[in-house]
Chain A
Amino acid sequence: MIIEETDVLIVGAGPAGLANAIELKRRGIPRVVVVDREPEAGGMPRLCHHTGFGLPDLHRLLSGPAYARRYVRMARRQGVEIRTSTTITGWDSEKGLTFTAPDGMGVITARAILLATGVRERPRSARLVPGTRPHGVLTTGALQRFVHERHLPVGTHAVIVGAEEVSLSALMTLRSAGVKVVAMITHLPQHQIYFPYSIARWMYMNVLSSTPLYTSTRIRRILGLRRVQGVEVEHLESGQRRVLPCDTVVFTGDWIPENEVARSGELVMDPGTKGPQVDGEFRTSRPGVFAAGNLLRGAETASNSALEGRRAAQAMIRFLEGETWPDHRLPLISHPPLRWVAPNSFSSRDLEFPPERLSFWADEFVDRGVLQVRQGSRVLYERAFRHLRPNKVLRLSSRWLPEVAPSGPPIEILVRG
């Protein structure tokens, strides 16, 4: 058994974890260790071989792999210790995590821990899509590994399930592998691809407009014995069914945080995000354990995750300097059609120094309504909107936070028609 101690242990060498480590080192924390279960550091951007990364945090436009490499380089330069092929297997004591790596098993004890384990897409089975179980059913992440990491074949004709930003990423990956995209289907009445930058719109619009889009359509079942031979889809309004022949199906989006380490540490989890409950300063329910990045909710851009990791460093440093852990926190609950809100709890310090802004996520399109934040019967904030868009991180002002009654009931966020 290898037994080690460090000041800060970060689980996950993606954008949030690495940005956090860099910031901690910059601010003088002597020993910062980042572990990652993958053989290579950098996280998910390594797999996204298209551009669109880095503007908000690195002030330049990069491809995913270049972005990941840049963070790894910056971390190494700052003296961050990065350990790859190292899997966290459980909690040892209050502040220790056990691991398995090729050079053995061990325990790392840290004064503070950051969980930044990221997010994955729900696979076909978790979405309960019936039918046979042939080869050729993938998620975007698996597809990107097939194409860019292992250079494996992915068929010739694909159907993409989902029409949001990550679906565009799947589309680009399939095209680069020479696969024809037969259809992109979404159960919603229109696609949910909102280009963050005009340059992106200019680049992708052409690709998108040449791909058949089936809206208000759901996948009914998968066909084929050894290999996918098609999918049966159903139009939700007319009930009309048809078979789309294809040999590959890519399920995109439908995020679920990689919450295994968090849950096995008995952290309080948020029912909306399925990630750990955190306050405005990334503190979980367990003293000394912070969480940032897409573990908190699926899914922000890499840059926003990195910025979050950077911000989390501030609270971590205050904790290392002796700040006490808040023992009381007020949950923030979202109601359908809203799926989650982040952060999802507030401690008293948050009421004094509110986080810059909150984010939330909707599951449906809503036209003309009012977004409301309330505590019991007290309305803290209201905002009328013309369109509420689903499957995208939306922003919410935090200026109402000082109005919150610290010992009052939970805060709720909802939509009024």
Chain B
Amino acid sequence: MPDIYDVAIIGAGVVGSAIARELAQYHLSVVLLEANPDVGMGTTKANTAIWHTGFDAKNGTLEAKLLRRSYALMEKFIPEAGIPVERLGGLLVAWTEEQKHILPSLQERAFKNGVTDVRLLSPEEVYRLEPNLRPGAQGGLFVPGESILCPFTLPLAFATQAVINGVELRLNFPVRHVDVLPDGSKRVESPAGAVRSRFLVNAAGLYSDEIDHMLGHRDFTVTPRRGELIVFDKFARRLIDHIILPVPTPRTKGVLISPTVYGNVLLGPTAEDLDDKTNTATSEQGLRMLLEKGKAILPALLDEEVTATYAGLRAATEHADYQIRLHKEQKYVCVGGIRSTGVSAAMGIAEYVRDLLADAGLELRPKAVFQPVSMPYIGAVKARPYQRPDLIARNPDYGRIVCHCEKVTLGEILDAIHSPIPARTLDGLRRRTRAMQGRCQGFNCRAHIVEILARETGQDPKFLLALDDRERTTFAHPEKSK
């Protein structure tokens, strides 16, 4: 650990990790600080998993510009790193006259954003693409570039490539104070210790306004916007083959129905402003509302089993655009207000932040060698280890299926536990391998996986299951509420 780093990045979500990866290409000492025990644990982990073209971004915004730039960068990175992706295309379906009349203006907006391949569809064309939609569609807009990807593998790939190229990742490092020292360097303090750096990047997502305050700025406030989502069983996948997007109207913003790269179908999200940055609970009315809306778009969807429900918090601000600012005198870049397009824009943001840092005097000398990264494949299109005789012949653990629903093998679980950014928690293992994410939600495999993780990492199962004393509650008196 150096006495002083060139750059400290606060937040190892998809944006912070992408910035770390970008800077890892240069001769710099970089530290990536994360409050949680794993990367990608905030807004990054609970989203709609869509790789946006940015076709509907507000014209002329930084968001629109970075989404476009990112799209081009991702087209190169995604196949190189082996990120699960499906280039399905998005289909906006107009159900009312009002929505139908909005479509041409959306097409125009897409053209202005440089997304030139969108086209208007007649109702017949809509049903030719998606025959299972409820009857009554008035028309549609097809956006070929909208795609789906794995929102767990992507940030992990960024962070992994950063780490194997020399970036230091410090997990469980919740930042409590940032001080600008007399020499201009920043001292970033957490209960786990402190680091010093010449340059500082704030990519703290939901908490980016709080970090910004620590540096003396009050440019924006983050309001967590909760989005609840429902994941349907893989047998629902045959019902659709595109991302079914709502047409936004001034009054309502609808929900989308999209395949996932794991072969499920996703319905959501809701949008509800909260004041609690930790409230990722689902709600009765949210789930009910989603089912009603889902039924009105794709009636057969509700005949399938629900595999999972979850909620994520988007880092919305009072502003319509990203809040990315260079404070040159402080050698500090704030990356706030990335709202709901972080996964799609991260690479563009990273490049942009790199240039801002250079602007503030950071010297960028490219390394001769930038180690590539190759991620384990957990998608549904290419062969997974259980479908690969070559891998099984080499190591029988790839033929030993532990999670039956998602067909996750012991080999994959051990790989994830011993990867450059190792899975240390059940949640981390779940996101890296898909284990316990299937239709039985761990009915069959959870106990086995707890045992494997405890054995391989030397952690107490009580800790893994959050039964350690720290968390103990008292059960003395049941209290009545309301």
Contacts and interface: CB of A to CB of B under 8 A. Distances in A.
Asked if chains A and B come from one complex, the reply is yes
B1 interface: no
B392 A263 contact: no
A152 B399 contact: no
A213 to B, nearest CB: 15
A128 B465 CA distance: 22
B465 A125 contact: no
Interface stretch (B168-176, B335-343, B443-451): B443-451
A4 to B, nearest CB: 15
Interface in A1-20: 1
A243 B446 CA distance: 27
B180 interface: no
A275 interface: no
A100 B401 contact: yes
A229 B473 contact: yes
A82 B312 CA distance: 45
A146 B310 contact: no
Contacts of A102: 392, 396-397, 399-400
Nearest to A263: B235
Given A100-B392, A150-B447, A130 B282 contact: yes
B281 interface: yes
B286 to A, nearest CB: 7
Given A128-B287, A243-B481, A157 B444 contact: no
A139 interface: yes
Given A100-B401, A125-B309, A242-B481, A156 B443 contact: no
Interface stretch (B6-14, B78-86, B248-256, B300-308): B300-308
B401 to A, nearest CB: 5
A138 B392 CA distance: 32
Please classify how large the interface on chain B is, using the bins under 10, 10 to 19, 20 to 34, 35 or more.
35 or more
A60 interface: no
Contact of A89 (B386, B439, B482): B386
B310 A133 contact: yes
A242 B480 contact: yes
Which of A130, A226, A256 counts the most B-chain CB atoms under 10 A from its CB? Answer: A130
A226 B399 CA distance: 33
A8 B36 CA distance: 52
A103 B284 contact: no
Given A100-B392, A125-B309, A142 B447 contact: yes
A207 interface: no
9 contacts: A128-B287, A128-B291, A130-B309, A135-B467, A149-B447, A220-B284, A221-B284, A242-B481, A246-B475
A298 to B, nearest CB: 13
B359 to A, nearest CB: 41
Interface of B: 235, 278, 280-284, 286-287, 291, 305-310, 386-387, 389, 392-393, 396-397, 399-401, 404-405, 407, 426, 439-444, 446-448, 450-451, 461-462, 465-467, 471, 473-475, 478-482
A145 B235 CA distance: 27
A229 B467 CA distance: 11
A102 B444 CA distance: 19
Instruction: Label chain A's interface by main secondary structure.
Output: mixed
A2 to B, nearest CB: 9
The residue in A156, A224, A260 that gathers the most chain B C-beta atoms within 10 A of its C-beta is A260
A220 B281 CA distance: 12
Nearest to A225: B278
A89 B307 CA distance: 19
Contacts of B397: 102
Contacts of A155: 467
A104 B398 CA distance: 9
Given A125-B441, A128-B309, A142-B444, 6 more contacts: A100-B401, A128-B306, A136-B465, A142-B442, A150-B450, A260-B405
A111 B147 CA distance: 44
A17 to B, nearest CB: 16
A146 B447 contact: yes
B440 A244 contact: no
A87 B404 contact: yes
A124 interface: yes
Contacts of B443: 120-121, 123, 139, 141-142
A146 B309 CA distance: 23
B447 A227 contact: no
Interface string A155-170: 1110000000000000
A131 to B, nearest CB: 5
A199 interface: no
A126 B444 contact: no
Given A89-B386, A142-B446, A104 B475 contact: no
B399 A103 contact: yes
Contacts of B306: 125-126, 128
